[in-house]
Amino acid sequence: MKVLMFFIDGFGLGSRGEENPYFFAPTPFLDGLLGGHVLYKDSPVVYSQQAVMIPTDACLGVAGIPQSATGQTTLWTGINAAKELGSHINAYPTRRLREIIQQYSIMKTLSDLGQKVTFANAYRSEYFKLVEQRKAHHSTSTLVALSSGQPLRSIEDLNRSNAVYQEFTNRILVEWGYPVKEITPEQAGKNLASLARQYDFTLYEYFISDRIGHARDLAGAIEVYQMLDRMMADCIADLDLQDTMMIIVSDHGNLEDISQKGHTLNKVPTIVIHDHYKKTRFDQIASLTDVTPFVLDQLGVRR
């Protein structure tokens, strides 16, 4: 069994109304996969022939609005980071969160057991210089990747189709003047699938969704849903779903409600895609704390 975890930042389950860009967005692949346009907060667990969608708690039993640092740390360690700190922490991990990641991250756990793991995202060379100069900080996902001892991918990897950028068409990099080619969402999906076929566990992070949600950009948010739909369609088409499970996850809501600028209290969708998913126990997944244990279980790992 291999697992591809596709993380979409700020991807919640919203209402069936005009404040929710998903309400207007054509997503033919996801609709076909899940048996309808069902990513709403009033949806129950949705089962289809090849996938299941589980509304998943991101509040973690802690008062306040869910935030990225604690939500992502919880997602990728199975430790309730918000409870550990007593509050939701935004942006970059604190010292205590970094300690939790270094000890419990899913990529470290798997790597220590000899499984092949990778972070699919490409990094600009300037990023590393800024971190060295303390003008930038490692994100949660970067710390999770580094905890495994594996190198981070570069723009050179991206040009060899051996990485995927956080904005997977490379459009932003082209606008910034990097010597890369813009690619279609479909090609990005194929590149991600190619990576996932080589590893026991692959993590990919898509960040633009959270940025567009904060900007309250309806047209941009609709485009995000459409681009993700196209990218995931070709990614999954190029995977052997007998051998590989794809799991789509998020850390908190945001994109699904442009009536407000910040994050939401909404549940997030956990979508598991696999030819034999019905043989797994989905009652294991109720909150972000359950995602890492679930994935480890699928890979035959007991912590």
Write out the two tokens for 112: 């220590």
pLDDT tens, residue by residue, 93-145 = 999 999 999 999 999 999 999 999 999 999 998 888 888 888 888 999 999 99
pLDDT score of 136: 83
pLDDT, tens digit, for every residue of 226-267?
999 999 999 999 999 999 999 999 999 999 999 999 999 999
Residue 163 has pLDDT above 90, yes or no: yes
pTM to 2 decimal places:
0.97
C-alpha span between 8 and 125 (Å, rounded) = 24
Give which of 124, 189, 197 is closest to 156, Cα–Cα: 124
Question: Do 194 and 238 form a contact (C-beta atoms < 8 A)?
Answer: yes
Examine the pLDDT at 282 and tell me if it is beyond 80: no
What is the DSSP secondary structure assignment for residue 138, as one 8-state letter?
-
Q: Which helix (H) or strand (E) holds 51?
A: strand 51-56
Mean pLDDT of the chain, nearest integer: 95
pLDDT of residue 277: 67
Residue 176 lies in a domain: no
Cα–Cα distance, 61 to 87 (Å, whole number): 10
Amino acid at 151: P
Which tokens in the block code for residue 144?
A: 């999770």
Q: Give the 3-state secondary structure of residue 82.
A: helix
- The structure tokens listed for 223 are 């485009």
Tokens of 104: 């419990």
Share of the chain above pLDDT 70, in %: 98
Q: Which pLDDT score, from 0 to 100, does residue 279 have?
A: 62
Residue 150 within a domain: yes
Which CATH number belongs to the domain containing residue 92 in this structure?
3.40.720.10
| Per-residue tokens: 13 | 């389950």
At 3, give phi and psi (nearest 5°): -130, 130
Q: Other C-beta atoms within 10 Å of 246: how many?
A: 23
Give a yes or no: residue 170 inside a domain.
Answer: no
Residue 230 and residue 185 in contact, taking contact as beta carbons nearer than 8 Å: yes
160 CB-contact burial (10 Å; exposed 0-12 / middle 13-18 / buried 19+): exposed
Q: CA-to-CA distance for 162 and 156, rounded, in angstroms? A: 8
Q: Above 70 in pLDDT, residue 23?
A: yes
Could you tell me what percent of the chain has a pLDDT over 90? 89
pLDDT the model gives residue 127: 87
For the record, the structure tokens of 139 come out as 């994100």
When divided into structural domains, the chain yields a total of: 1
Residues 134, 53: Cα–Cα separation, whole Å: 40
| pLDDT, tens digit (0-9, with 9 covering 90-100), for 189-235 | 999 999 999 999 999 999 999 999 999 999 999 999 999 999 999 99
- For 114: left if phi > 0, alpha if psi spans -120 to 50, otherwise beta; the answer is left
pLDDT of residue 133: 86
Q: For position 191, what pLDDT does the model report?
A: 98
Asked if residue 139 is part of any domain, the answer here is yes
Judge whether residue 152 has pLDDT over 90: yes
Looking at residue 281, its pLDDT comes to 67
Residue 132 lies in a domain: yes
Candidate from 74-83, 189-198, 248-257, 269-278 with smallest mean pLDDT: 269-278
Domain presence at residue 163: no
Amino acid occupying residue 249: V
Range of the domain at 39: 2-154+185-298
Whether residue 159 is contained in a domain is answered as no
**Contact yes or no for 75/249 (Cβ under 8 A):** yes
Q: Given the structure tokens 């309250």, which residue do they identify?
A: 216
Is 162 a domain residue? Answer: no
